[in-house]
Each structure stands twice: as C-alpha cells, then as structure tokens.
Amino acid sequence: MKFTFSFIDKRQGSVKDDILSGLTVALALVPEAVAFAFVAGISPIIGLYGAFMMGLVTAVLGGRPGMISGATGALAVVMVNLVIEGNAMGPDGSMMGIQYLFATIILAGLIQMSAGMLKLGKFIRMVPQSVMMGFVNGLAIVIFTSQLGMFKINGVFLSGSKLYIMLGLVFLTMAIMYFLPKFSKKIPAALVGIIVVSLIVILGGIETETVRSFVISGGGTGIKAGLPTFNIPMIPLNFETLGFIAPYAFILAMIGLIESLMTLTLVDELTETRGSGNRECVAQGIANITNGFFGGMGGCAMIGQSIINIKSGGRGRLSGIVAAIALLMFILFGSAYIEMIPIAALVGVMFMVVIGTFAWSTFKIINKIPIADVIVIALVTILTVIFDLAIAVAAGVIVSALVFAWENAVKIRISSTMDEEHGVKHYIVHGPLFFAATATFSNSFDVKNDPKEVVISFEDSRIMDQSAIEAINKVAEKYQLVGTNVHLRYLSHDCVKLINRAEKICDVNILKDPDYHVAINDYRKKVEALKAN
C-alpha cells in the first residue's frame, strides 16, 4: 500500500463531521485559551470565557463557516502592558487593569464593526500571494514555538524519563493522525488521537503533564467555573480614560481584523469556497463587545484551531457552534475529565497543524519566482515570528507595492518621430504613467529644439493618478512657454475626466478622431500669467 500525506480533505462536510470536529476543536481550545490568559496576566477563566464567546458569536454571525475564533496570542501580547498600566492607574490591589481591558475590548469591537459596515474587509484582496505564504509560514513557526512551552514545568524544560514519555505520547498522537485517515475518515483523527493517548495515560497510570497540572503550574486552580455574567466595566468615564484605552483598542482591532481576514482567505483556499470579509469584521466586533460586557479576554480567528476543524471535516457553522458550547460544558460540568487529558496529546495535534500550515511549496518555487517575492516571503515570515502579524503583513504589503511601482516605472518608454513634411514631431508614450514614472516622462521631451507643433500620443499608455496629470500639465506648460502647440491624443474617457478635474488650466477639444481621441491645448492664460511674473 502506498501512503501519501494529504492534510486537508476537501470533501463536503456533514452534521456528523461538524459535531465531531467541533468536539475536537473544543479540546484543543482549552490549553490555548489558558496559555494566552497567562501571557496577558489574567485569570485562565477569562481566557476560556473569551474563547467560548468569540467562538459562538462568530460561528453564528461570521462570514466564514468552519473558521474558529477564540483567545489568541497575537492579542494577548498587546494586553500585557494594558493590564499592567491599568492596574497602576487604580488604587493598590484594586486590579483595575482587568476593567480597563474589558472597556478596551468593547471599543476595539466597535472599531471592527465600523470596518465591516464601511466594507473595508475587501482590502484583504490586496494582499499578495507572497505575503500570504510568509504569513502561513510565520504562523506555523509561532505555533510550533508556542508548543515548546508545554515541555516545561515551572519554567524548566522536562528532562530524563519525563521528557521521553512526553515525546513518545506526542509522536503517538501524530502517528494516529497520519495513519488513521488512510483507513477511515468517518471519525476525526485528531479526536481519536486525543482519546487513545488519554486512555493510555489514565489506564496505564503514566505520570505526565496534564491539563490540570498545566493550569496549576501557571498559577490557576482549575478550569471549573459558572456561566459568564453581564457587567459594565467599572472605570472612570472621562477623556483621560478614552485617551488611555483608544490606542490599545485600535491596535487590538487592527491585529484582530488582519489575522481574521488572513485566516479567512487561507480557509477559502483550503476549502475552495469563499467567505465574506465584511461580514466577518462585523461578527468579530460583536463578539469582542460581548466579551467586554461578559468578562472575556476577547480574541480573533485562530489559524491553528481553524485548520484542525477543516482537517477534521468541519465545514459548516455547526462545527464552530459545537466547539463553543462544548468548551462551555467543559467549564461548567466536565472540568474534572478535561483536566485529565495529557498535554502531550494536544501538543501532538498542534504539531500536525504546524506541518499542515507551513507552505512547504516555498522551497520548491524559491528558484522559480522573482527574487523580490522571495524577499517578501522571508520578510513576512521573520517579522511574524519576531513581532506580530499586523507589522509583518503591513511591511509585506508595503514592500510588494514598492516593488510593483518600481517594476512598472521602468517599463515606461517614449519614442519619437519627425514629420518633416508638416513640421510636426510625434511622441509615443509606452507603458503606464503614474507617480513613479513621472520623472522619466518629464525628461523625455526636447522642448527647446522641437518644432512648433508637437503631438503626444497615449495610445500605448494610460494615465494612472494625479501625479501623471500634473506631469502632463508641466510638460504642456514648458511647450507653451516657448510658443509650441502641444496636442495630447488617444486618452481614454476616464483619463479625460481626470484631466478635466485638474486645475482647469487648459481647454479640452475633441479632434477628428470619432471615438475617444482627445487633444489638449491652449494654455495661454496660464502661460501669460507665468510670463507676467
């Protein structure tokens, strides 16, 4: 039998698949939510509440069925300073940082809702493929390194027999996830792996790290709690408070939207379907507002858990709903059983997510794509690991845009011919004319030595922006100053409209060309004003 590895099954989902995959995701959410709560310096219950509310609201209202949202590390690292500074602003021991955190999450949610209502989610389409590859590679590395912390007890890495047992259980989970789909896809391999490894540890009396020991080692007492309750953040309602929380809210909102929309795009590609970015923005905002009023830490889409869900067969909204409700049931009733699950089983699942997330095709295409794209992939990957997703994606898009502008700027070329019989010189512009190409355009005309009639043809070009219009105006002014008549031809209707919206320093006359050819001449008023000065 020939074994091949295909991490994502593109078959259509079913109710059974959604339910089972939702249960699998719920189990994987527990240590992640707890760990990110510890990172933010807050109670693990707040992290679990955040994961529950984010998951439920976005599953019901979001724009991408099958995508999982919850408490994330990208937001947790921003919350650290917010909580610390918030505590310092209140009386000693009042723990005001939590209240400021909830208020900030509410404001971030309002920003996210506004982005969705203004239909800003469509701008995710402007992210180049090279940035996407860097994004998934960087997140795969981040997920991998975050799991290494699970190999620690009280900040010290495991060693000796404890380390070997942990590694053995991790590899057993990974092996189950790899081989089981070769024989049957009726049950999610990740869920089977977690159950089998848990039974081996419990029935065999194997001493290893569990969810309970992980929570306790981080300073918690367990994951058991009641239902989240409604509370209005107890903070001063003044401009000082707004000035404090607004920058944090904006950063959290932007990071959350970028990570969610990038994850949405990735899930679209994996499932060969299409979600709604604007709807997802609104849903993320509602979920964060809910978190702020009901005591959750907020969050955004989670690429790791989303891939677990897709891998396990979850395709519909039901999978996310089941994951959220199951997580709540764990908190309310099943904490004693969930706390018995070995951390190794969950780490094994996440390691398989790393393998499935990383774009291994990067190494195959590295010699086949432009060097600029290779640099962008590496840049986004490195910045995602060192800083955060928002900085990485922004830098990648900026670099890609600059490369695009440069490559198109050097494409502009201007040829010329002389009509000796009629005393007319013809210039033909080739390539797009925009801000990066205006210098080349302006320096391509021999104003002093040209005849009294000059025609500039844009048949093989296109005016792209205001900088191009201004460059055309300046060239025309130079010709008018020496008494030369200049005619601009073959401008499309939209270009003519742009020129008409310019400084109104010229008349636009239609020549004999019946369709859309245009001549722009007669700058006399502007020229006379220039000469007068």
Tens of each residue's pLDDT in the chain, 533 residues: 333 444 555 556 689 999 999 999 999 899 888 888 887 888 889 999 999 999 999 999 999 999 999 998 888 888 988 999 998 887 876 778 999 999 999 999 999 999 999 998 877 778 888 998 998 898 889 888 888 888 888 778 889 999 999 999 999 999 999 999 888 877 888 999 999 999 999 999 999 999 988 888 777 778 889 999 999 999 998 999 999 999 999 989 988 998 899 899 889 988 888 889 999 999 999 999 999 999 999 999 998 899 999 988 898 999 999 999 999 999 999 999 999 999 999 999 989 988 988 888 889 888 888 899 999 999 999 998 888 777 888 899 999 989 888 888 888 899 999 988 888 999 999 988 888 899 999 999 999 999 988 888 888 888 888 888 888 888 888 888 888 888 888 776 666 665 654 444 333 333 333 333 333 333 344 445 545 55
Distances from the Cα of 4 to the Cα of 68, 178, 181, 269, 385, angstroms? 27, 9, 10, 21, 30
Residue type, 198: S
Contact 296, 1 (CB under 8 A): no
Q: At what angle do helices 160-183 and 343-357 cross, to 10 degrees?
A: 60
pTM for the model stands at 0.76
Distance (Å, whole) CA 504 – CA 140: 55
Give the up-direction half-sphere exposure of residue 491: CA atoms within 13 A in the CB hemisphere: 26
Q: What is the DSSP letter of 262?
A: H
Helices first, then strands: H and E counts in the chain: 21, 10
Q: Which domains does the chain have, with CATH numbers?
A: 15-358 (no CATH), 413-532 (3.30.750.24)
Radius of gyration of the chain (CA): 30
For the chain, how many residues are written? 533
Contact 131, 393 (CB under 8 A): yes
Distance (Å, whole) CA 116 – CA 288: 14
Buried residues in 63-72 as b, exposed as e (16+ CB within 10 A)? bbbbbbbbbb
Contact 63, 280 (CB under 8 A): yes
- For β-strands 485-489 and 453-463, DSSP reports them as parallel
Q: Nearest 10 degrees: CA dihedral of 66, 16, 32, 388?
A: -20
Q: Which residue has the tokens 């490369």?
A: 403
CA angle 13, 17, 21 (to 5 degrees): 115
By CB atoms closer than 10 A (0-12, 13-18, 19+), residue 444 is: middle
Distance (Å, whole) CA 447 – CA 310: 64
The 3 state secondary structure assigned to 89-152 is: HCCCCCCHHHHHHHHHHHHHHHHHHHHHHCCHHHHHHHCCHHHHHHHHHHHHHHHHHHHHHHHE
Q: Which residues contact 18 (CB under 8 A, 6 or more apart)?
A: 313, 314, 315, 316, 318, 319, 322
Q: Which residue in 259, 215, 195 sits closest to 33, CA to CA?
A: 215
- For β-strands 518-521 and 507-510, DSSP reports them as antiparallel
Distance (Å, whole) CA 317 – CA 63: 10
Strand partners, 157: 152
